[in-house]
Amino acid sequence: MSTPTNASPVETTIAPREQSLMGLPIRRLLPWRGQRHCGPFVFLDHMGPHTLAPGDGLDVPPHPHIGLSTLTWLFSGELEHRDSLGSVQTIRPGEVNWMTAGRGIVHSERSPDGERASEASIEGLQFWVAQPQHTETGEPRFEHYSSDELPAWQSDSAAWVLVAGQWREHQSPVQTDSELTLLDVRTTDAGSLELTDLDADWEWGIYPLAGSLHWQEVELALRHLGVTNQPARLRWEAGSHFVLFGGKTLGERRIDWNFVASDDALIRQAREDWQAHNFPAVPGDKGYVPYPGSN
Protein backbone atom coordinates (compact mmCIF):
# COMPACT_ATOMS: atom_id res chain seq x y z
CA MET A 1 0.00 0.00 0.00
CA SER A 2 1.33 3.41 -0.94
CA THR A 3 0.54 6.03 1.67
CA PRO A 4 0.69 9.74 0.74
CA THR A 5 2.93 11.91 2.86
CA ASN A 6 -0.04 13.74 4.36
CA ALA A 7 -1.76 10.51 5.48
CA SER A 8 -0.98 8.86 8.80
CA PRO A 9 -1.13 5.08 9.31
CA VAL A 10 -4.32 4.06 11.09
CA GLU A 11 -4.58 0.99 13.32
CA THR A 12 -7.22 1.68 15.95
CA THR A 13 -9.36 -0.43 18.27
CA ILE A 14 -12.58 1.19 19.46
CA ALA A 15 -14.43 -0.04 22.54
CA PRO A 16 -18.24 0.22 22.37
CA ARG A 17 -20.01 3.00 24.26
CA GLU A 18 -23.24 1.67 25.74
CA GLN A 19 -26.28 3.91 25.30
CA SER A 20 -30.05 3.63 25.03
CA LEU A 21 -32.26 4.35 22.03
CA MET A 22 -35.90 4.68 23.07
CA GLY A 23 -35.28 1.98 25.68
CA LEU A 24 -33.29 -0.28 23.35
CA PRO A 25 -29.69 -0.87 24.51
CA ILE A 26 -27.17 0.00 21.81
CA ARG A 27 -23.41 0.00 21.45
CA ARG A 28 -22.03 3.00 19.55
CA LEU A 29 -18.78 2.40 17.67
CA LEU A 30 -18.66 5.34 15.24
CA PRO A 31 -18.07 8.23 15.35
CA TRP A 32 -15.37 8.12 18.02
CA ARG A 33 -13.21 10.96 19.28
CA GLY A 34 -10.07 9.43 17.76
CA GLN A 35 -11.72 8.04 14.61
CA ARG A 36 -14.53 10.07 13.07
CA HIS A 37 -15.11 7.71 10.16
CA CYS A 38 -14.07 4.48 8.45
CA GLY A 39 -13.88 5.31 4.77
CA PRO A 40 -17.30 6.86 3.96
CA PHE A 41 -18.92 5.17 7.00
CA VAL A 42 -19.46 7.88 9.63
CA PHE A 43 -21.76 6.07 12.08
CA LEU A 44 -22.21 2.54 13.42
CA ASP A 45 -24.63 1.41 16.11
CA HIS A 46 -25.00 -2.19 17.29
CA MET A 47 -28.62 -2.55 18.47
CA GLY A 48 -29.30 -5.19 21.11
CA PRO A 49 -29.37 -8.10 21.44
CA HIS A 50 -32.49 -7.33 23.43
CA THR A 51 -35.73 -9.09 24.27
CA LEU A 52 -38.93 -7.05 24.05
CA ALA A 53 -41.72 -8.04 26.42
CA PRO A 54 -45.21 -8.74 25.04
CA GLY A 55 -46.85 -5.43 24.20
CA ASP A 56 -43.53 -3.58 23.97
CA GLY A 57 -41.75 -2.49 20.85
CA LEU A 58 -39.10 -0.17 19.48
CA ASP A 59 -40.52 3.22 18.56
CA VAL A 60 -38.27 5.79 16.91
CA PRO A 61 -40.62 8.62 15.82
CA PRO A 62 -40.10 10.67 12.65
CA HIS A 63 -36.71 12.40 12.55
CA PRO A 64 -34.73 14.04 9.72
CA HIS A 65 -31.49 13.31 7.86
CA ILE A 66 -29.40 15.09 5.25
CA GLY A 67 -26.23 14.13 3.38
CA LEU A 68 -26.09 10.42 4.20
CA SER A 69 -27.41 6.97 3.41
CA THR A 70 -28.63 4.68 6.18
CA LEU A 71 -28.30 0.92 6.01
CA THR A 72 -30.06 -1.37 8.47
CA TRP A 73 -28.80 -4.98 8.77
CA LEU A 74 -30.81 -7.12 11.20
CA PHE A 75 -29.76 -10.39 12.83
CA SER A 76 -33.12 -10.91 14.61
CA GLY A 77 -36.48 -9.18 14.85
CA GLU A 78 -38.35 -6.92 12.46
CA LEU A 79 -38.68 -3.15 11.99
CA GLU A 80 -41.17 -1.13 9.98
CA HIS A 81 -39.68 1.77 8.05
CA ARG A 82 -41.80 4.75 6.96
CA ASP A 83 -40.48 7.88 5.30
CA SER A 84 -41.51 11.19 3.81
CA LEU A 85 -41.36 9.72 0.28
CA GLY A 86 -44.32 7.53 1.25
CA SER A 87 -42.23 4.36 1.60
CA VAL A 88 -43.56 1.70 3.98
CA GLN A 89 -41.32 -1.34 4.32
CA THR A 90 -40.85 -4.05 6.93
CA ILE A 91 -37.25 -5.16 7.19
CA ARG A 92 -36.28 -8.66 8.34
CA PRO A 93 -32.94 -10.38 8.98
CA GLY A 94 -30.87 -10.73 5.82
CA GLU A 95 -32.64 -7.87 4.02
CA VAL A 96 -31.38 -4.37 3.29
CA ASN A 97 -33.14 -1.04 3.75
CA TRP A 98 -31.04 1.62 2.00
CA MET A 99 -32.31 5.16 2.51
CA THR A 100 -30.47 8.07 0.90
CA ALA A 101 -31.24 11.46 2.46
CA GLY A 102 -29.69 13.88 -0.03
CA ARG A 103 -31.09 17.36 0.61
CA GLY A 104 -33.49 16.00 3.23
CA ILE A 105 -35.71 13.10 4.26
CA VAL A 106 -37.71 12.17 7.36
CA HIS A 107 -38.31 8.61 8.54
CA SER A 108 -39.50 6.54 11.49
CA GLU A 109 -38.57 3.05 12.66
CA ARG A 110 -41.02 1.06 14.75
CA SER A 111 -41.72 -2.54 15.68
CA PRO A 112 -44.55 -3.94 13.53
CA ASP A 113 -47.76 -4.96 15.29
CA GLY A 114 -46.90 -8.65 14.83
CA GLU A 115 -43.68 -8.20 16.81
CA ARG A 116 -45.60 -6.66 19.74
CA ALA A 117 -48.06 -9.51 20.14
CA SER A 118 -45.60 -11.71 22.02
CA GLU A 119 -42.04 -11.69 23.34
CA ALA A 120 -39.64 -10.75 20.53
CA SER A 121 -35.89 -10.41 20.20
CA ILE A 122 -34.12 -7.71 18.22
CA GLU A 123 -30.49 -7.28 17.18
CA GLY A 124 -28.81 -5.57 14.27
CA LEU A 125 -26.45 -2.96 12.95
CA GLN A 126 -27.20 0.47 11.56
CA PHE A 127 -24.65 2.30 9.43
CA TRP A 128 -24.58 5.84 8.11
CA VAL A 129 -22.61 6.38 4.92
CA ALA A 130 -21.69 9.98 4.09
CA GLN A 131 -22.61 11.08 0.60
CA PRO A 132 -19.99 12.65 -1.69
CA GLN A 133 -20.33 16.37 -2.29
CA HIS A 134 -21.85 15.95 -5.74
CA THR A 135 -24.85 13.99 -4.34
CA GLU A 136 -25.24 15.27 -0.77
CA THR A 137 -27.84 17.87 -1.82
CA GLY A 138 -29.53 15.61 -4.38
CA GLU A 139 -32.94 13.97 -4.34
CA PRO A 140 -33.74 11.58 -1.47
CA ARG A 141 -34.56 7.97 -2.28
CA PHE A 142 -35.37 4.64 -0.63
CA GLU A 143 -34.64 1.09 -1.78
CA HIS A 144 -35.28 -2.35 -0.28
CA TYR A 145 -33.46 -5.56 -1.21
CA SER A 146 -34.53 -9.07 -0.22
CA SER A 147 -32.01 -11.64 0.98
CA ASP A 148 -32.07 -13.57 -2.30
CA GLU A 149 -30.99 -10.44 -4.19
CA LEU A 150 -27.70 -10.18 -2.28
CA PRO A 151 -24.61 -12.09 -3.47
CA ALA A 152 -23.89 -15.03 -1.14
CA TRP A 153 -21.25 -17.75 -1.45
CA GLN A 154 -19.03 -20.22 0.41
CA SER A 155 -15.25 -19.90 0.25
CA ASP A 156 -12.17 -19.67 2.47
CA SER A 157 -13.88 -21.68 5.25
CA ALA A 158 -16.73 -19.18 5.55
CA ALA A 159 -20.19 -18.19 4.31
CA TRP A 160 -20.14 -14.68 2.84
CA VAL A 161 -22.91 -12.19 2.11
CA LEU A 162 -22.07 -9.01 0.21
CA VAL A 163 -24.50 -6.55 1.75
CA ALA A 164 -23.34 -3.49 -0.22
CA GLY A 165 -20.61 -2.45 -2.61
CA GLN A 166 -18.09 -4.66 -4.38
CA TRP A 167 -15.84 -7.52 -3.27
CA ARG A 168 -13.59 -9.24 -5.80
CA GLU A 169 -15.86 -10.46 -8.62
CA HIS A 170 -19.07 -9.89 -6.63
CA GLN A 171 -21.28 -6.78 -6.84
CA SER A 172 -24.22 -5.97 -4.55
CA PRO A 173 -27.32 -4.45 -6.19
CA VAL A 174 -27.48 -1.72 -3.51
CA GLN A 175 -27.09 1.63 -5.30
CA THR A 176 -24.28 3.33 -3.38
CA ASP A 177 -22.92 6.81 -4.16
CA SER A 178 -19.28 5.95 -3.41
CA GLU A 179 -16.79 3.07 -3.49
CA LEU A 180 -17.33 0.79 -0.48
CA THR A 181 -17.67 -2.79 0.73
CA LEU A 182 -19.87 -4.30 3.45
CA LEU A 183 -19.60 -8.05 4.10
CA ASP A 184 -21.27 -10.33 6.63
CA VAL A 185 -19.02 -13.34 7.32
CA ARG A 186 -19.93 -16.53 9.25
CA THR A 187 -17.13 -19.04 9.46
CA THR A 188 -17.56 -22.80 9.08
CA ASP A 189 -13.93 -23.75 9.80
CA ALA A 190 -10.74 -22.06 10.90
CA GLY A 191 -9.34 -19.83 8.18
CA SER A 192 -7.69 -16.55 7.30
CA LEU A 193 -7.83 -13.60 4.94
CA GLU A 194 -5.20 -11.13 3.73
CA LEU A 195 -6.34 -7.54 3.14
CA THR A 196 -3.71 -6.23 0.74
CA ASP A 197 -3.33 -3.90 -2.24
CA LEU A 198 -5.21 -1.11 -0.49
CA ASP A 199 -5.56 2.30 -2.08
CA ALA A 200 -4.01 5.06 0.02
CA ASP A 201 -7.42 6.53 0.85
CA TRP A 202 -9.17 3.22 1.70
CA GLU A 203 -9.98 2.22 5.29
CA TRP A 204 -11.25 -1.12 6.64
CA GLY A 205 -13.47 -1.70 9.66
CA ILE A 206 -13.51 -5.13 11.35
CA TYR A 207 -16.31 -5.89 13.83
CA PRO A 208 -16.47 -9.35 15.51
CA LEU A 209 -19.84 -10.47 16.85
CA ALA A 210 -19.16 -14.09 17.90
CA GLY A 211 -16.37 -16.64 18.09
CA SER A 212 -12.70 -15.72 17.83
CA LEU A 213 -11.13 -13.32 15.33
CA HIS A 214 -7.46 -12.32 15.27
CA TRP A 215 -6.37 -9.11 13.57
CA GLN A 216 -2.62 -8.81 12.96
CA GLU A 217 -2.20 -11.93 15.18
CA VAL A 218 -3.86 -10.21 18.16
CA GLU A 219 -7.37 -11.28 19.16
CA LEU A 220 -9.88 -8.50 18.55
CA ALA A 221 -12.31 -8.43 21.48
CA LEU A 222 -15.93 -9.18 20.63
CA ARG A 223 -18.00 -6.07 19.91
CA HIS A 224 -14.88 -3.92 19.56
CA LEU A 225 -14.21 -2.22 16.23
CA GLY A 226 -10.85 -2.41 14.51
CA VAL A 227 -10.06 0.28 11.92
CA THR A 228 -7.03 0.28 9.64
CA ASN A 229 -5.70 1.72 6.40
CA GLN A 230 -2.79 -0.73 6.40
CA PRO A 231 -2.48 -4.21 4.88
CA ALA A 232 -3.88 -6.64 7.46
CA ARG A 233 -4.23 -10.35 8.14
CA LEU A 234 -7.43 -11.74 9.66
CA ARG A 235 -7.50 -15.21 11.20
CA TRP A 236 -10.62 -16.86 12.63
CA GLU A 237 -11.85 -19.99 14.34
CA ALA A 238 -14.84 -22.08 13.29
CA GLY A 239 -18.18 -20.66 14.39
CA SER A 240 -17.11 -17.03 14.26
CA HIS A 241 -19.24 -14.17 12.96
CA PHE A 242 -17.89 -10.80 11.91
CA VAL A 243 -18.67 -7.85 9.67
CA LEU A 244 -16.02 -6.39 7.38
CA PHE A 245 -16.67 -2.96 5.91
CA GLY A 246 -14.78 -0.06 4.42
CA GLY A 247 -14.24 2.26 1.52
CA LYS A 248 -12.55 5.35 0.22
CA THR A 249 -12.59 8.34 2.53
CA LEU A 250 -14.58 11.35 1.40
CA GLY A 251 -12.80 14.01 3.42
CA GLU A 252 -13.96 15.79 6.55
CA ARG A 253 -17.66 15.70 7.35
CA ARG A 254 -19.63 17.71 9.89
CA ILE A 255 -22.05 15.69 12.01
CA ASP A 256 -24.71 17.44 14.06
CA TRP A 257 -27.39 15.15 15.49
CA ASN A 258 -28.85 13.36 12.43
CA PHE A 259 -27.32 15.71 9.89
CA VAL A 260 -24.12 15.01 7.91
CA ALA A 261 -22.61 17.51 5.48
CA SER A 262 -19.39 18.84 4.01
CA ASP A 263 -20.51 22.42 4.72
CA ASP A 264 -21.61 23.95 8.02
CA ALA A 265 -24.17 26.06 6.16
CA LEU A 266 -26.06 22.91 5.13
CA ILE A 267 -26.16 21.77 8.76
CA ARG A 268 -27.46 25.14 9.99
CA GLN A 269 -30.18 25.25 7.34
CA ALA A 270 -31.32 21.70 8.11
CA ARG A 271 -31.47 22.46 11.83
CA GLU A 272 -33.52 25.62 11.24
CA ASP A 273 -35.85 23.84 8.82
CA TRP A 274 -36.50 20.99 11.25
CA GLN A 275 -37.19 23.33 14.15
CA ALA A 276 -39.57 25.34 11.93
CA HIS A 277 -41.32 22.11 10.79
CA ASN A 278 -40.32 22.77 7.18
CA PHE A 279 -39.26 19.20 6.43
CA PRO A 280 -41.83 16.96 4.67
CA ALA A 281 -44.07 14.80 6.86
CA VAL A 282 -44.12 11.02 7.07
CA PRO A 283 -47.51 9.78 5.84
CA GLY A 284 -49.18 7.63 8.50
CA ASP A 285 -46.88 8.69 11.36
CA LYS A 286 -47.49 11.95 13.20
CA GLY A 287 -44.62 11.65 15.68
CA TYR A 288 -41.81 14.21 15.98
CA VAL A 289 -38.35 14.08 17.55
CA PRO A 290 -37.27 17.60 18.63
CA TYR A 291 -33.80 18.81 17.84
CA PRO A 292 -31.75 18.25 21.05
CA GLY A 293 -31.86 21.35 23.22
CA SER A 294 -34.78 22.90 21.36
CA ASN A 295 -38.11 23.73 22.98
The per-residue pLDDT for range 241-253, each reduced to its tens digit, is 999 999 999 988 9
What CATH architecture applies to the domain 16-275? Sandwich (2.60)
> Residue 4 has what pLDDT?
36
Q: What pTM was estimated for this model as a whole?
A: 0.93
- pLDDT grade for 100, boundaries at 50, 70 and 90: very high
**Residue 295 pLDDT more than 70?**
no
Residue 3 has pLDDT above 50, yes or no: no
Q: What is the pLDDT of residues 39-94, one digit of tens each?
A: 999 999 999 999 999 999 999 999 999 999 999 999 999 999 999 999 999 999 99
Query: What's the CA dihedral at 25, 161, 156, 224 to 10 degrees?
Result: -20
**pLDDT tens digits, one per residue of 109-168:** 999 999 999 999 999 999 999 999 999 999 999 999 999 999 999 998 999 999 999 999
Average pLDDT for 258-264? 97
Q: Cis link prior to 112 (omega < 30° from 0)?
A: no
Residue 101 confidence (pLDDT) above 80 = yes
Name every residue whose Cβ is closer than 8 Å to that of residue 58 and which is 6 or more positions away in sequence.
Answer: 21, 22, 23, 24, 52, 79, 109, 110, 111, 122
**What is the model's pLDDT at position 199?**
80
Q: What type of residue sits at position 115?
A: E
**pLDDT confidence bin for 21, thresholds 50/70/90:** confident
Asked if the model's pLDDT at residue 1 lies above 60, the reply is no
Chain segment 195-246, per-residue pLDDT in tens: 987 787 899 999 999 999 999 899 999 999 999 999 999 999 999 999 999 9
CB 247 within 8 A of CB 203: yes
